[in-house]
C-alpha cells in the first residue's frame, strides 16, 4: 500500500506512533482522537495514503464505502445508541489539518455543541 513517510497518519498505520485502536483490517484503521469533541470520537482512515477527499478516484469508492458502513457498527460497539455525527474536512479552507483522508465519527449527547 502506498504511504507517505512524512504523514502523521501513515506513521500511525506503520506503528511508528502509538494510537488507541478501535478497529483495524487490511484496508482501514480506526483509532480514538487525541483531542475528542465528544464522549466517543474516533478517526477512520484508509491505509492507502490519499491526501484528501479532493484526491479520491473511482478506484477508492470501495474503501470509502467500507468506512461509511463501519461507523454505525463501531459506534454501536462503543455504546453510542442515540445518534452520531461524521465529518470529513477537505483542504485547508475545509479545516483539514492532517493531509491523509480521515473521517471523524463523534457520538454521545450533542457532541457538536462543544463550548
* pLDDT tens-place string over residues 63-93: 999 999 999 999 999 999 999 999 999 999 9
Catalytic residue of the set 41, 100, 102, 104: 102
Q: Is residue 73 part of a domain?
A: yes
Residue 3 binned pLDDT confidence (cut-offs 50, 70, 90): confident
41 is catalytic: no
**Segment (H or E) for 43:** strand 40-46
Q: Please state the rounded mean pLDDT for residues 2-7.
A: 86
Number of domains making up the chain: 1
Q: Is residue 1 part of a domain?
A: no
Separation CA 47–CA 26 (nearest Å): 8
Percent of the chain scoring above 90 in pLDDT: 85
Residue 5 binned pLDDT confidence (cut-offs 50, 70, 90): confident
Separation CA 32–CA 34 (nearest Å): 6
Q: Is residue 25 part of a domain?
A: yes
Domain coverage including residue 71? 8-113
Separation CA 59–CA 101 (nearest Å): 15
The CATH number of residue 71's host domain is 3.30.428.10
Cell numbers describing residue 19: 494510537
CB-CB neighbours of 75 under 10 Å: 21
Amino acid at each position: 500500500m502506498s504511504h507517505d513517510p512524512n504523514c502523521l497518519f501513515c506513521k500511525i498505520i506503520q506503528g511508528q506512533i502509538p494510537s488507541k485502536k478501535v478497529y483495524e483490517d487490511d484496508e482501514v484503521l480506526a483509532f480514538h482522537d487525541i483531542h475528542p469533541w465528544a464522549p466517543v470520537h474516533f478517526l477512520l482512515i484508509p491505509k492507502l495514503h490519499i491526501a484528501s477527499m479532493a484526491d479520491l478516484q473511482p478506484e477508492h469508492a470501495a474503501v470509502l464505502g467500507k468506512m461509511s458502513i463501519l461507523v454505525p457498527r463501531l459506534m454501536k460497539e462503543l455504546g453510542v445508541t442515540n445518534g452520531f455525527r461524521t465529518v470529513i474536512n477537505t483542504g485547508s479552507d475545509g479545516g483539514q489539518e492532517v493531509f491523509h483522508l480521515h473521517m471523524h465519527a463523534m457520538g454521545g449527547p450533542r457532541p457538536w455543541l462543544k463550548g
